[in-house]
Amino acid sequence: MKEENLLLERLKNYGRSQRYPFHMPGHKRQKRCFCENFPNPYEIDITEIEGFDNLHHPEGILRESMQWAAKVYGADRTYYLINGSSGGILSAICGVSSFGDKIIVSRNCHKSIYHGIILKNLKTEYIYPQIIEKMWITGGISTDDVEKTLEKNPDACAVLVVSPTYDGIVSDIRGIADAAHKRGIPLIVDEAHGAHFSFGGKDAERFFPLSALDCGADLVIQSLHKTLPSFTQTAVLHVKEKYINIEKLEWYLQVYQSSSPSYVLMAGIEHCIFEMEKRGGKYYSEFQERFLRLRKNLSSMKYLKLLDEDVIGEFGVHDLDKSRIVVSCKGTSLSGEKLGELLRKKYDLEMELCGIDYVVAITTIFDTQEGLMRLEKALLEIDKDRNSNDFDDERTGEKEANVFCGEYRPEICMTLSEAMNKKRDRIKISDCAGKISAEFVYLYPPGIPILVPGERIEQEFIEEILRYRQTGLSVQGMADRTSEYLMVCTE
């Protein structure tokens, strides 16, 4: 390989470019504030030598560090995760269930949750999020729906919801936790996108929604790397002990994490929490003003629409993460993919996610004033360039992204695990109607499955997938990389 083609060289070039990241990780590649005093990683990259404890059997400095972190967060226990939230989610699901149990789970979950469900051959009872129709994105999970599902499924071992969603939608975690606890079972919250909630200020000054941990959830998993200044793969798992078998949970944490946990990543986790505890309030009050100015100016857009606080109280939305900039282009001739491309090619701005009709920008305390202004200017300019003739009747009349938003509710024919282990065959997607899927189908990002193994494939689903492919969205999960064929169960 030529030296200039090495990954490292490509990353260095990218780092020097003017491309501005509105995506994770939350440090935004800014070499300032507390990234500045982080040493060269080679100097601190060790293994479990004398005096440096062992993450899988912590008795010394790592134990003390995690006990300190638990106090910072108000948890009974906090675990450092070096395999991202994914490792914490797998451990949480396996830690609360026995093989073949039933779990109540919100359908708009990340694929890691489905992987946990497969590993324990769990039966699933889905709760579908409501839909914010004006933008065709998923809303929250209503407490009422959780209550009703618990009523019908008294044998469930746990409730699991994702909050906030990729789009910053927060559900009523306190209500959902109370409902689960009334039945004596724990609530797991995938708060991968809400690690910053824990540092969002106190009471009236609070800029972000309350963390699920402060709302009564029992296991809360947060990706530090998504919204805080921390290395990719760093995350934490918080525990309130009452409904949790700690020994079992800790055993699974060993299973799903490397037996050689990186000291660079662990030091990065501790450093991030330390600095956020010390200076988080200050960072946020400085940045709050910028965020709010950005949001206010973007709310004046005529054709593009910013997801705003007016959704709170409807569609199962309990609260909104204001740092998430969700811009819908529904009804205009732009698709999310085209809008993302325009932002990248013309303005050198990289979004986190381009959906069928919207884009998502992740903003964090490490965004510069200049970066936020570039985003504002670009979106206002794109909006100004639209005009009333720009509405595309064909697209406006379409049934928008309904599969992705959870309107499509496939029949469950067997557990995911059973379907994964059946004999299977590769069939052209257009010929799959009526068959049972043996694999996942999702758009990436956000990685939320539209179809999971064991579900019946309907014509409506096939049409949606073909449409996604035509729109240029990245349809993934299938063994066939061209996403033309799907594995189906043949028994």
Ligand X SMILES: Cc1ncc(COP(=O)(O)O)c(C=O)c1O
CA distance 336 to 442: 16
Stretch that binds ligand X, among 82-90, 138-146, 324-332, 450-458 (CB under 6 A): 82-90
Taking CB under 6 A as the rule, does residue 190 contact ligand X? yes
Q: Does 84 bind ligand X (CB under 6 A)?
A: yes
Nearest CB to ligand X, comparing residues 24 and 375? 24
| Tokens read off for 126 | 């889905």
Rg of the chain over Cα atoms, rounded to whole angstroms, equals: 22
452 backbone φψ class: left, alpha, beta (φ>0; ψ -120 to 50):
beta
Per CB under 6 A, the list member of 73, 126, 128, 166 interacting with ligand X is 166
Cβ closest to ligand X, residue 166 vs residue 404: 166
What residue has token string 């479990």?
Answer: 48
Strand partners, 361: 325
- Alpha carbon distance 271, 37 (integer Å): 10
Q: How many residues bind ligand X (CB under 6 A)?
A: 14
Any contact of residue 110 with ligand X (CB under 6 A)? yes
Nearer to ligand X, 173 or 429 (CB): 173
Residue 446 sits in the site that holds ligand X (CB under 6 A) = yes
Burial track 377-411 (b if 16+ CB lie within 10 A, e otherwise): ebbbebbeebeeeeeeeebeeeebbebbbbbbebe
- Residue 192 binding ligand X, by CB under 6 A: yes
Residue (331 or 446) nearer to ligand X, CB: 446
Among all residues, whose Cβ is closest to ligand X?
84
Tokens of 446: 């956000």
Contact at 8 Å (CB) between 140 and 209? Answer: no
Q: Which two tokens stand for residue 89?
A: 């989610």
Residue 190 CB, shortest distance to ligand X, in Å, is 5
Q: Which stretch binds ligand X (CB under 6 A): 44-52, 79-87, 333-341, 474-482?
A: 79-87
Is residue 340 a contact point for ligand X (CB under 6 A)? no
Q: Which is nearer to ligand X, 92 or 131 (CB)?
A: 92
Which residue, 84 or 371, is less far from ligand X as judged by CB? 84
| Site residues (CB under 6 A) for ligand X, limited to 356-415 | none
Site for ligand X in 134-163 (CB under 6 A): 162
Question: Do 109 and 190 touch, CB atoms closer than 8 A?
Answer: yes
Contact assessment for residue 168 and residue 324, using Cβ atoms and an 8 Å cutoff: yes
Site residues (CB under 6 A) for ligand X, limited to 198-227: 223
Tell me how far CA of residue 273 lies from CA of 57, 91, 381, 436, in angstroms. 22, 22, 38, 46
Select the span of 36-44, 188-196, 357-365, 381-389 touching ligand X (CB under 6 A): 188-196
Among 65, 78, 85, 163, binds ligand X (CB under 6 A): 85
- Name the residue nearer to ligand X (CB basis): 193 or 318: 193
- The residues that bridge with 237 in the sheet, in sequence order, are 79, 221
- Binding site residues, ligand X, CB under 6 A: 84-86, 110, 112, 162, 166, 190, 192-193, 223, 235, 446-447
